[in-house]
Structure 1
Amino acid sequence: MTTPDSAQWDDEMAAPSHAVEFRLPAHASSVAVARRRLRLWLGTRECDDGVLDMAVLVMSELFTNAITHTDSTEITCVLRADEDSVRVEVRDQGCKPGQPRVRQAAADEESGRGLLIVSSVTNRWGVARDEHGTGRTIWAALPTAAV
């Protein structure tokens, strides 16, 4: 079994500076690993602390949703950056019925605010099905001039 800390970056040393991809087991403990990898990667890009914090928050929400709302055994993360934005993509392997959507959680609910948070801290986000129609990619873009 692959643990989150033993999972390897895909082409870690050969990855172009503007993008990186990695895969992690679909376990709650992998969320922290995904956040740490995002923080390390953006740290090499001299990213503004505010953008870094918001990107880490987005990663947490999207990765957690992929674990909670799919039947995936593995989650793929793709990070991209250019002069204007940072893009976080989270790909799952298998969807349960339904489409990700922003919803209004009741004040006493402990969950249900993830995509509302993503929507409020990004300039755009979306969902794309994979070519087989079983999995999906949820992505979010954060504006930045510091990247």
Structure 2
Amino acid sequence: MAPLTHSATSTTFELRFASTPRGARLARRLASYRLDSWGHGYGSEANEATTLVVAELASNAVTHGRVPGRDALLRLTRTDDRLRVEVADTRGERHPAVGPGTADTETGRGLLIVEALAETWGVTPRTGAPGKTVWAVLHFGHPSNPATA
């Protein structure tokens, strides 16, 4: 697992994952595990929202941002009452957009979920490498078990 970075106001978890569906599932599972270790237990609103956002962003990265042989990057940055989720891929020319998504379509509605759960979200150029970073900021309260935070 990736190292944690601690500062006075934030904690960061990073994970490089294969640009494959299996890699995206790993990112989702480890994000849920990390939230649990930070005091937002499995099944909590914070853990469920984070898992959904990571699942969508990681899935988009491996579906639309995949470059064979290049990994994607998940970064979770926790502050007192917010969590910033970032998923970076190596395709800078393809930017996500919220699609119309109807009941009849099988794809195109995932970013609507991100938009609904996140306080804000967006896309920025990736720093230090080619590509882009899709990010979302989730707002939630303090962990249920502050001793593990």
* TM-score bracket for the superposition, by shorter chain length: 0.7 to 0.9
Unpaired runs of at least 5, structure 2: 144-149
Unpaired runs of at least 5, structure 1: 1-8
**In the alignment, which of 97, 100, 103 is matched to residue 104 of structure 1?**
100
**In the alignment, which of 15, 19, 31 is matched to residue 24 of structure 2?**
31
Distance of 2:81 and 2:127 partners within structure 1:
28
Structure 1 equivalent of residue 84 of structure 2: 87
Q: Counterpart of 2:33 in structure 1: which amino acid? A: L
Instruction: Kindly tell me the number of residue pairs found equivalent between the two proteins.
Output: 136
Distance of 2:105 and 2:79 partners within structure 1:
37
Structure 1 equivalent of residue 118 of structure 2: 122
Distance of 2:48 and 2:5 partners within structure 1:
23
Superposed CA offset, 1:9-56 (max 9, x none)? 333xx5437111110100001122111111111111112610110000
Superposed CA offset, 1:94-128 (max 9, x none)? 23x44211121132110001111100011101110
Distance of 2:118 and 2:110 partners within structure 1:
12
**In the alignment, which of 34, 37, 45 is matched to residue 50 of structure 1?**
45
Distance of 2:100 and 2:21 partners within structure 1:
24
Superposed CA offset, 1:49-107 (max 9, x none)? 10110000000000000111123331100011111201110000123x44211121132
Q: RMSD between aligned alpha carbons?
A: 1.9
Give the TM-score, by structure 2 length.
0.83
Give the TM-score, by structure 1 length.
0.84
- Offset at residue 138 of structure 1 (A): 0.4
SS at match of 1:34: helix
- Offset at residue 132 of structure 1 (A): 7.0
Structure 1 equivalent of residue 33 of structure 2: 40
